[in-house]
Amino acid sequence: MNLTKLLQSQGFGTRRECRGLVLSGRVDIAGARVTDADADVNPENLRFAVDGQDWRYREKAYVMLHKPAGYECSQRPRHHPSVLSLLPLPLRNRGLQTVGRLDEDTTGLLLLTDDGQFLHVYTSPKKHIAKVYRVTLKHALSEAQLAALRAGVVLHDDPEPVAARAATARDAHTLELVLTGGKYHQVKRMVAAAGNRVAALHRESMGAYSLPPDLAPGEWCYVEPDRAC
Ligand code: URA
């Protein structure tokens, strides 16, 4: 693959900017400076550095972010910064999209990718991808509320009751809720319909991915694509 094209595919700017990076000696491959912008490189498992920072060639990027509160899952945020601002510029330039959305005040696992097929599978209601939420409740949880969440509650935009795949009490004010749908504000609306209120919401896992305990709020890491996609 042509080196300029490769850098462009990885989010390092326009064709012209990528040429400029190489010609000005800012790109290393396997520890050696490369100044031929049209050098033919094999992208497979390629490691390269731009301005001394190491990168690996990725045909598609899959990123897990520990979303902190106070960020919006939008390319054009209105009231708070976008989650994309937590990622380095080359990743932002690749046009990563969030795999579903979390509310501004929700924390936890958020996936981002530029793989349209993955995005489709992970957001399709037909695929029943399970999401596990830790829900901190305003009022003490009751058996009746748990039973309602398991049996299904009616939300105003849908005549069919919506049921949790699982609803378990972790303690008097903490609920573990497993959902397979992705309706707008689904957790908050289901909890309200069951007669309680969400005080804080955190997503622990989604499909094959779980938030690692050492990934702090605001931090991100690359993940491998779920082979089921
Ligand atoms: N359900 C909600 O109500 N909010 C989220 O952020 C995610 C699921």
Side-chain-side CA neighbours of residue 9 (13 Å): 13
Q: What separation in Å is there between the alpha carbon of 106 and the centre of ligand 1?
A: 7
Angle between helices 186-193 and 143-151 (to 10 degrees): 120
Question: For the chain, how many helices (H) and strands (E)?
Answer: 6, 15
pLDDT at 227 over 90: no
State the DSSP string of 76-133: S-SSS-BGGGGS-HHHHHTT-EESS---TT-EEEEEEES-HHHHHHHH-GGG---EEE
Which residue's CA is minimally distant from atom 2 of ligand 1? 185
Query: What CATH class is the domain 3-56?
Result: alpha beta
Copy the structure tokens of residue 219.
């931090």
Residues of each domain in the chain carrying CATH 3.30.70.1560: 130-206
Please, are residues 197 and 85 in contact by the beta-carbon 8 Å criterion?
no
Tell me the pTM. 0.94
Domain with CATH 3.30.70.580 in the chain: 62-124+208-222
In the chain, which segments carry CATH 3.10.290.10? 3-56
What percent of the chain is modeled with pLDDT above 70?
A: 100
79-98 pLDDT per residue, tens: 999 999 999 999 999 999 99
Across all residues in the chain, what is the average pLDDT?
Answer: 95
204 lines ligand 1 (CB under 6 A): no
Residue 114 a catalytic site member: no
Give 19-74 pLDDT, tens digit per residue: 999 999 999 998 899 999 999 999 999 999 999 999 999 999 999 999 999 999 98
Q: Which fold has domain 62-124+208-222?
A: Alpha-Beta Plaits (3.30.70)
Q: Are 196 and 143 in contact (CB under 8 A)?
A: no
Calculate how far, in angstroms, residue 103's C-alpha sits from the geometric centre of ligand 1.
Answer: 6
Provide CATH code, domain 130-206: 3.30.70.1560
Atom number of ligand 1 nearest to Cα 105:
6
What pLDDT is stored for residue 204 in this prediction?
98
201 CB near ligand 1 (under 6 Å): yes
